[in-house]
């Protein structure tokens, strides 16, 4: 039987901008006001990434100031991976949350996700290590997963040097970073890593295998959020190349064994996101397997909304709740 893919006529999708919350609407207005200053859809990949970095500068300005920031270079095969260690306090041995940024694995870095990382550190009272994995299409699956795993192993092996607790670690990420977080957890588990050290995963609107082929995928996504069917197919192609997702268990995590070695998960979804049901499915599967999970779906929110905590109360709430979830699983009682 020939392969086929069910598609939705774009005219049949719901009108996202008419359904967003008033604060999400303000974000769309602010983005439109600056639309002429950058274009992430044209030019070379480096130009796309530079435009994305420029667009994110305003959204990442201000916020918590870290007591200490350390730039790391981690060996991985024949190259190095950049990582950024953020400490909200100067002294003391802290649990560490590894943050893996989104951007479809094509754009993004620690600077474009700086505010989210700093708020997670400040609200949890824990250290955060942001991972600057290699981007696609230059780096194909599974290299970014391998790089994230390398950073985790390096940091835990050198924990004493950085006043970190290697027995209390966690993962967080948004969008593609949510996928890489789950992929890294599974890869570490399958390599024999002691997963009891992984206390929690804090996951923001990730894609875990459905690829938008679900009810939310057919209803939502458009030019307003860069999440059309064509956009999702593009990112998938950039990351996987010609690989079948069903042959990639650290990308399509549903083909992997989710019955063991999974930490408690804090799962955030956006109501108007084509990836919404992927997050709901992850919650349903893990809960059924006995994993402690929380699921929070923010009404009137679009994909990528945690970037906009300067404007959106829901983004601030999602970051604060996620930070508190990790801290609680580490045995801490955050007061902020």
Which of 165, 225, 273, 277 is flagged as catalytic?
A: 273
Q: What is the tens place of the pLDDT at every residue in 193-222?
A: 999 999 999 999 999 998 878 889 889 999
Let me know if 292 is a catalytic residue.
Answer: no
Let me know if 303 is a catalytic residue.
Answer: yes
Is the residue at 42 inside a domain? no
CA quadruple 174, 175, 177, 179: dihedral, nearest 10: 130
Number of domains, the chain? 1
Is the residue at 225 inside a domain? yes
Q: What is the tens place of the pLDDT at every residue in 270-314?
A: 999 999 999 999 999 999 999 999 999 999 999 999 999 999 999
For residue 134, the enclosing domain spans 71-329
Which of 175, 181, 184, 309 is flagged as catalytic?
A: 175
**Could you tell me the CATH number of the domain that includes residue 252?**
3.40.50.1820
Let me know if 233 is a catalytic residue.
Answer: no
Is the residue at 173 inside a domain? yes
Comparison of pLDDT for 307 and 33, the residue scoring more: 307
Taking the alpha carbons at both ends of the chain, their separation in whole angstroms is: 57
Is the residue at 56 inside a domain? no
User: In degrees rounded to 5, what are phi and psi of residue 165?
Assistant: -100, 105
Query: What does DSSP say about strands 265-270 and 94-100: parallel, antiparallel, or unpaired?
Result: unpaired
Query: What does DSSP say about strands 127-132 and 79-87: parallel, antiparallel, or unpaired?
Result: antiparallel
Is the residue at 64 inside a domain? no
Q: What is the tens place of the pLDDT at every residue in 125-175?
A: 999 999 999 999 999 999 999 999 999 999 999 999 999 999 999 999 999
Query: Residue 9 corresponds to which tokens in the numbers above?
Result: 């006529």
Residue 2 pLDDT class (50, 70, 90 cuts): very low
Is the residue at 30 inside a domain? no
**Segment 168-190 mean pLDDT:** 98
Which of 220, 303, 307, 324 is flagged as catalytic?
A: 303
Burial of 287 (0-12, 13-18, 19+ CB in 10 A): middle
Is the residue at 6 inside a domain? no
Q: Which residues pair with 86 in a beta bridge?
A: 69, 128
Is the residue at 249 inside a domain? yes
Give the closest residue to 171 by CA, choosing from 333, 325, 335: 325
């Amino acid at each position: 039987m020939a392969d086929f893919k069910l598609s939705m006529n774009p005219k049949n999708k719901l009108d996202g901008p008419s359904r967003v919350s008033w604060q999400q609407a303000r974000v769309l207005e602010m983005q439109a006001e600056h639309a002429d200053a950058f274009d992430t859809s044209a030019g070379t990949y480096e130009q796309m990434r530079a435009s994305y970095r420029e667009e994110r500068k305003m959204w990442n300005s201000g916020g918590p100031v870290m007591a200490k920031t350390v730039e790391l270079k981690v060996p991985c095969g024949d190259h190095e991976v950049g990582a950024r260690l953020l400490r909200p306090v100067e002294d003391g041995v802290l649990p560490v949350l590894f943050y893996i940024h989104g951007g479809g694995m094509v754009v993004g870095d620690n600077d474009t996700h700086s505010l989210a990382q700093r708020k997670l550190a400040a609200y949890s009272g824990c250290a955060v290590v942001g991972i600057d994995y290699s981007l696609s299409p230059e780096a194909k699956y599974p290299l970014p997963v391998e790089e994230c795993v390398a950073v985790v192993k390096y940091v835990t092996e050198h924990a004493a040097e950085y006043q970190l607790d290697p027995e209390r670690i966690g993962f967080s990420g948004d969008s593609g970073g949510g996928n890489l977080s789950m992929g890294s957890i599974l890869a570490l588990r399958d390599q024999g890593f002691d997963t009891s050290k992984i206390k929690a995963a804090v996951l923001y609107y990730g894609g875990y295998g459905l690829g938008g082929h679900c009810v939310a995928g057919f209803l939502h996504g458009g030019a307003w959020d860069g999440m059309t069917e064509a956009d999702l197919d593009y990112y998938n192609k950039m990351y996987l190349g010609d690989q079948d997702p069903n042959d990639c268990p650290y990308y399509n995590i549903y083909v992997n064994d989710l019955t063991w070695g999974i930490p408690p998960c804090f799962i955030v979804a956006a109501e108007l996101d084509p990836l919404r049901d992927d997050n709901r499915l992850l919650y349903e599967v893990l809960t059924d397997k006995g994993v402690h999970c929380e699921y929070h779906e923010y009404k009137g929110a679009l994909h990528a909304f945690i970037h906009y905590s300067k404007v959106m109360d829901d983004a601030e709430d999602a970051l604060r709740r996620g930070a508190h979830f990790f801290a609680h699983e580490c045995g801490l009682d955050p007061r902020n």
